[in-house]
A and B are shown apart, each in its own frame.
Chain A
Amino acid sequence: MPLPVALSLIDVSVYYGARAALERVSLDVRRGEIVGLLGPNGSGKSTTLAVAAGVLDPATGAVTVEGRARGVDPAAFARRVGLVPQEPALYDELTALDNLRFFGELYGLAGTELRRRAARALARVKLSDRARDRVGTFSGGLKQRLNLAAALLHDPPVLLLDEPTAALDPASRDALFADLARFRDDGHAVLLTTHHIDEAESGCDRVAVLETGKLVACGAPGELLRPRAAERAVLYGHLRARPPRYLERAIRHRLAPGAALEITGRRLRLSADTSEDLGLALALLLAEGVELEAYRTPAGALERALREPTEQTEPTPC
């Protein structure tokens, strides 16, 4: 029997001036599931999350958390939502514990209860030994874990994460998804945004694909991953270090026709018309001294959904 719906976006539209950032998006997230919002930059992922977190009012439609609308009781709504912003929303000048104390106080926690919850949140993200260290001394990965701990402090049923792996190396990313899986198993509803298909495929129970503010596909990754004959061969990788621009240009120049290389930060996406061409492109990359920490090759249906805009006009409920 499925667990109850924790977060519900009903026909939500958001406009930035005259531009529609979200158009009639409907999405339910149940307790005990991780839903990934997938889409290219500017597709409306962060806007969806901001609306769900109650920091942005929709122009039309409604958002409820466990049946409560923000407009009716903002405090009750806020207590049921934990937001993990993309950039660590922390005070570098304060210690990890002081940060958690402050954010806990915002949700009405105090005294022994606050201390207990802060200790538990730190333990959940394995930062107990750094509790009294200033956040400014933390690495990006540690900050992201503390960022997550701050959102968990008041034990909200709904956890919202905006591109949580953007600044993480593969090991930290895997650790984060392991944490999220635990929270899901504890009965939390998790909604996260990403533009990395491999994360959505491997870490989410359901995936909602956004494109220019519209929900164009939604379902379990397995459902969206129907093999198709015309798929391009794709490889996602994580670089040890970003190669210099001139080298990037030189490699691109020598790729087979139809092959493409995209590098964003330390993330890499290599694609080609055939798996043979993809293998050749990878060999070329390695021969030029580009080092990969990790890579994976997804089946590609989500890739297709992202790359080929749909013609549909009616919104897809999810």
Chain B
Amino acid sequence: MSRVQLTLALARKDWRLFWADRRAALLCFVVPVLLAATFGAIFHRPASGANPRLPVVVVVEDGGPFTRQVANEVLASQRLDAREASRAEAAAQVAERRAVAVVLPAGFERLKLWEPGSTQERPELVLLHHPNATGERQWCEGAVQELVMKCVARETFGASDRESAPPFKVAAEAVSPYPRTQFNSYSHSFCGMSIQYLLFWGMESGLLLLRERRRGAWARLRAAAVPLSCVIAGKALATGSVALLQVLVTFGVGYVAFGVTIGGSLVGFVLLACAACALAAATGLLVAALGASEARARSVSVLLILGVSMLGGLWVPAFLLPGWARDVSLALPTTWAMRGLETVTWQGGGLGAALPSAAAVAGFALALLAVAALRLRLTERAIREGRV
């Protein structure tokens, strides 16, 4: 029997074993879709162009008309989602990180009497914020300062709304290789969860091989003089084909239900999907080659997969990670797989843009495969020679 036929026989056996447990097989496709949908929903922002508004609670503790005017400006701001409340209610909201509180304390009304060059003690405006909400606090401070200064300009100089507006315009520009495209949280999460679950499937496939090697079935393979290269190729083929099916199902559901589209090169997408599936297969073989026992191999693999998923930007966009994490992540295959898939999906990149990522992922897969094959060969030799 030729090596190709042997390889196909081994792959068919793994394919049958995969489908033998229908429920487990089904979960293999359902779980990444569910997680991707959940992550997508969490990070989803309406695509209408409306800017997100910061939740703010306004506490008015001074009964003066100027203070009321400032409070009304804050409440009416288009940049803030503001409402008025008592200080106790505001503190409770802040403690839960639901809002930033703007407190206009007693004595705030004195601001109305301010004049340029005045040396009098300045009245205070208090911002209450959650300890971890420094960004929101700065956002709120900027917006409130502008509104207060507008009221002061009106009160002190009798300026109209037009005159009290900032004397310049802000021109914001998105700098990206694909500036016309908008970040799509569902595209991101479907790319991320697909890659993560390819790795998990690779791990499961590797654990199956570990189990097989402990069962007598492996002795039969040895007795049948099946070359190790066929075992490795058969396992890689079976793992890779299931992985490819997983990609198709995940992105298929993403397209139908969540509007995830391949906005760029379809060929690039196929190349990246194949490279990612090869990575899953290589991961599985590495788990089987290095795993001493199933329990230990599972624990270590889960930890590593979650680690490379997080650092590779599979959970949250890489641009949210700190700089050092982004530097480290360049050495991870997940980073390149994610970059590539994002390029050809929501960023609308062409084949040329996808090729470096696809090549990087394929390179990582080949390297892992080589390590796994070497290790399995050494182990088999040791077993044959009675050293294990």
Contact = CB atoms under 8 A, between A and B. Distances in A.
Contact of A56 (B9, B12, B226, B384): B384
Interface in A43-98: 50, 53-57, 59, 70, 74-75, 77-78, 81, 83, 85-91, 93-94, 98
B214 to A, nearest CB: 10
B222 interface: yes
Contacts of B13: 91, 94, 102
B386 A87 contact: no
Interface stretch (B14-22, B98-106, B249-257, B288-296): B14-22
Contact of B6 (A17, A50, A106): A106
Interface string A81-123: 1010111111101100010001101111010000000000000
B223 A110 contact: no
Nearest to A17: B387
A17 B225 CA distance: 24
Contact of B5 (A78, A85, A110): A110
A218 interface: no
A57 B384 contact: yes
Given A105-B9, A107-B224, A55 B17 contact: no
Contact of A55 (B6, B21, B219, B387): B219
A103 B16 CA distance: 14
Contacts of A17: 386-387
Assign chain B's interface to a size class. Answer: 20 to 34
A74 B230 CA distance: 14
Assign chain A's interface to a size class. Answer: 35 or more
Contacts of B387: 16-17
A150 interface: yes
Nearest to B385: A57
Nearest to A85: B216
Contacts of B5: 105, 108, 110
A248 to B, nearest CB: 31
A259 interface: no
Nearest to B386: A16
A103 B5 CA distance: 13
Interface of B: 1, 5-6, 9, 12-13, 16-17, 20-21, 215-226, 383-387
Q: Which 6 A-B pairs have the closest CB atoms?
A: A89-B216, A108-B1, A105-B9, A85-B216, A78-B225, A93-B20
